[in-house]
Amino acid sequence: MRTDSSPGSLPAREHLPAAAAGTPVLDVVVPVYNEERDLGPCVRRLHEHLTRTFPYAFRITVADNASTDGTPHLAARLAADLAAVRSVRLEQKGRGRALRTVWSASDAPVLAYMDVDLSTDLNALLPLVAPLISGHSDLAIGSRLARSSRVVRGAKREFISRTYNLILRGSLQARFSDAQCGFKAIRRDVAQVLLPLVEDTGWFFDTEMLVLAERAGCRIHEVPVDWVDDPDSTVHIVRTATEDLKGVWRVGKALATGSLPLDRLARPFGDDPRDRDLTGVPQGLARQLVGFCVVGALSTLFYLLLYSGFRHFAGSQLANALALLVSAVANTAANRRLTFGVRGRGGAVRHQAQGLVVFGIGLALTSGSLAALSAATTDPDHSTELAVLIAANLAATVLRFLLFRAWVFPDPQPAAPSPEPHLPEPHLPDPQRTWSDAR
């Protein structure tokens, strides 16, 4: 897993400015490996569709993954015959490698790809890229699992696809519906930040990109598609599924350990309500309260179980101190990651040290409550002890949240805004002129 310490900042969402003359707005990549039979019909049909319906200049890039048949010669001939088509040859296999290579070098502001079999109806292409051109979204995917999608495929592929997406939702908390549909697009400025973090070079490439994009706070637009299964597909289902599961494990491990710098990548969204500078309203307070309460409830249960266990061989004061110490370390770690969104190992020791100070205050409250109970009655029963400890812990919990928020994990102070340079008003491209140029 790539762990660049400073991957950069994602750009603010805005409508794409007018492209320079001769620069395509859209670059559609068709990755191929030994596809001499399907490549010609695919590219010609795609080129005809874009020429007829797409209102901006475009490019089709055939990315050959080390084919051993006549695919490279056919791709070169198509590039020579059609002005908006080019071919790129790679000497190594891997769909992800092909997409990374072409997308990284492309000058088009919107990058897309589709499978050579054209299983997806091309009428979904303009709805796919329109939200990226307008600035509404960062990535867009075709979804065969949307309610309004119309899909024709066998039960085996249907089962595998739905199972895979359920695994993504259960293990990586993915919220997009269809990771495997070969019909996706991304803004180039977003791709420049995300691609260095994506490690896979094969079929898991786009799934990994989507998971990282979602975790970084990107907006993913989904388009229902009409899709017809290709019975002659050369994809090896078992091998692909195995590699995908390995990728899920690798990405899940990296996210769990905080080794990926994905905390929204310091993105200046501007249009995101979470980023608005509202005076007098602490940012993220509601979400932090919910997270703190959940962690606190689990920590209290953990503490009571520990106390009951330690009480079998130690006095009430020692059992309380041990249980509170162990649960405090776990509570600080959980709140650091889940409540306040601190990722990575930086500052972890300092946070635990500050957490132990907060633990000391909680220990004083609970120990004082036990001392007061012992003074009031010489032999309190276990249920009374637990009731007193719960009340004391509630008071300590309120104080713990305030100290965590104000001292241990304070909100970073926003930097003073720098004066924005004066830029000339952008001129939107003339759809009729660019449409004519594309022809």
Task: Give the lowest-confidence range in 127-141, 209-223, 294-308.
Answer: 294-308
**pLDDT of 420 above 50:** no
- Predicted local confidence at residue 385, as pLDDT: 81
Q: With bands split at pLDDT 50, 70 and 90, how would you rate the model's confidence at 433?
A: very low
CA 196, CA 103: separation in Å to the nearest integer? 12
Q: What mean pLDDT comes out for the span 72-92?
A: 94
Query: How buried is 211 (Cβ within 10 angstroms: 0-12 exposed, 13-18 middle, 19+ buried)?
Result: buried
Would you say 302 and 330 are in contact if contact means Cβ atoms under 8 Å apart?
A: yes
pLDDT of 425 reads 45
Per-residue model confidence (pLDDT) at position 426: 43
Tracing tokens 């055939």 back to the chain, one arrives at 62
Q: What global pTM score does this model have?
A: 0.61
pLDDT for the residue 84: 94
Which of the four pLDDT bands, split at 50, 70 and 90, describes residue 265? low
Residue 254: both structure tokens together: 């990296």
Angle at 308 between CA 303 and CA 311, to 5 degrees: 120
Which range scores top for mean pLDDT: 49-63, 294-308, 331-345, 414-428? 49-63
C-alpha–C-alpha distance, residues 110 and 195, integer Å:
14
Dump pLDDT digits (tens) for 330-347.
888 888 887 887 777 778
What is the average per-residue pLDDT within 281-308? 78
Percent of the chain with pLDDT over 70: 81
Band of residue 266 on the pLDDT scale cut at 50, 70, 90: low
The band of 234, judged by pLDDT with boundaries at 50, 70 and 90, is: low
Least confident of 43-57, 59-73, 112-126, 310-324: 310-324
Q: Is the pLDDT of residue 280 over 60?
A: no
Task: Please check the confidence at residue 235 and state whether its pLDDT lies above 90.
Answer: no
> Quick one: pLDDT at residue 222?
95
* Residue partners of 227: CB distance under 8 A and separation at least 6: 119, 120, 121, 142, 144, 149, 150, 151, 152, 153, 181
* φ, ψ dihedrals at 63, nearest 5°: -105, 105
Q: Average model confidence (pLDDT) for the chain?
A: 81
> Is 381 noted as a catalytic residue in this protein?
no
* β-pairing verdict for 150-152 and 226-228: parallel
Question: What pLDDT score was predicted for residue 221?
Answer: 95
Amino acid (1-letter code) at residue 294:
V
- Mean pLDDT lowest among 97-106, 159-168, 211-220, 413-422: 413-422
Stronger pLDDT, 371 or 26, i.e. the higher one: 26
Average pLDDT on 37-48 reads 94
Q: Which residue has the higher pLDDT, 364 or 240?
A: 364
Instruction: Tell me whether strands 183-187 and 139-143 are parallel, antiparallel or unpaired.
Output: antiparallel
pLDDT at 19: 60
280 vs 13, more confident: 13
- Distance CA(239)–CA(115), nearest Å, equals 18
**Res. 374 pLDDT band, cuts 50 70 90:** confident
Band the pLDDT of 200: cuts 50, 70, 90: very high
| Alpha-carbon span 406 to 361, nearest angstrom | 15
222, amino acid identity: E
Buried b / exposed e along 55-89 (16+ C-beta atoms within 10 A): bbbbbbbbbbbbbeeebbebbeebbeebebbbbbe
Least reliable range by pLDDT among 107-116, 189-198, 231-240, 401-410:
231-240
Choosing from 38, 117, 206, 244, the catalytic residue is: 206
DSSP output for 168-230: HHHHH----S-S--SEEEEEHHHHHHHGGG----STTHHHHHHHHHHHTT--EEEEE-EEE--
What SS3 state is found at 30? strand
pLDDT, residue 64, reads 94
